[in-house]
Chain A
């Protein structure tokens, strides 16, 4: 069977603005996952440096690192926090907890808020 080829136009900004909060949590879960996948060697490198260089260890506590790197760290912290909070929500959904539409939207909003609050808290600590 041959499938009909139709022209497709996806108005992404419009789609984004129409996205439900649950869809946003879902796509950000994927985006944050990709980001962390790319950052694995970099984070391992930081871990390595912290164990081998006393100088790096003391500077990684916030004073001597540049603003650009702090922004990178904060983006990574957000990725971890969002991925973790959304992941916990998905685990509950897997167990059929909170799958009603209203509850699912409420927990999705909580995921956004809690992960942002955790990011701000940890961001302030490292700045």
Chain B
């Protein structure tokens, strides 16, 4: 039982706790950037498909967007894992749910790489 619990627990929670908060701040910066872009796009840049595409061709924008998406994924991992730890009591169920969560998030991450860099 002890070993089982250790496998799917947060271990020493402080790392996850910190991960949750640091990624939160990264996303805050990201969402402010999105708002800034939307306002600027309406005011300054002639906002259309071409300029939107061009914007995402800058390496700086791609790197920034990828970091924000990575922050979302890591943040979601801690949050959803906490959810399963709160509500899924049986080891087997929790193992399945953890695995599905990892697959869901990993798939999303790979998709985001494809979108930004392909």
- Which residues of A come within 8 Å of B, CB atoms? 30, 33-34, 36-37, 40-41, 44, 47-48, 50-51, 54, 57-58, 80, 84, 87-88, 91, 94
Contact = CB atoms under 8 A, between A and B. Distances in A.
A94 B112 CA distance: 31
- For the residues of A in contact with B, the DSSP-based class is helix
24 contacts: A30-B79, A30-B83, A34-B83, A37-B76, A37-B79, A40-B73, A40-B104, A40-B105, A41-B104, A41-B111, A44-B108, A44-B111, A44-B112, A48-B111, A50-B52, A51-B52, A51-B53, A57-B49, A58-B48, A80-B31, A91-B21, A91-B24, A91-B25, A94-B21
Contact of A57 (B21, B52, B76, B115): B52
A38 B53 CA distance: 26
A87 B24 contact: yes
B64 interface: no
A51 B79 contact: no
Nearest to A34: B83
Interface residues of B, number: 25
- For the residues of B in contact with A, the DSSP-based class is helix
Interface in B90-111: 104-105, 107-108, 111
Interface string B71-88: 011001001100100000
A84 B28 contact: yes
A57 B47 CA distance: 11
A84 B31 contact: yes
A97 B42 CA distance: 37
B37 interface: no
Given A37-B76, A51-B52, A57-B49, 8 more contacts: A33-B80, A34-B80, A40-B105, A41-B107, A47-B115, A51-B115, A87-B24, A91-B25
Contacts of B21: 91, 94
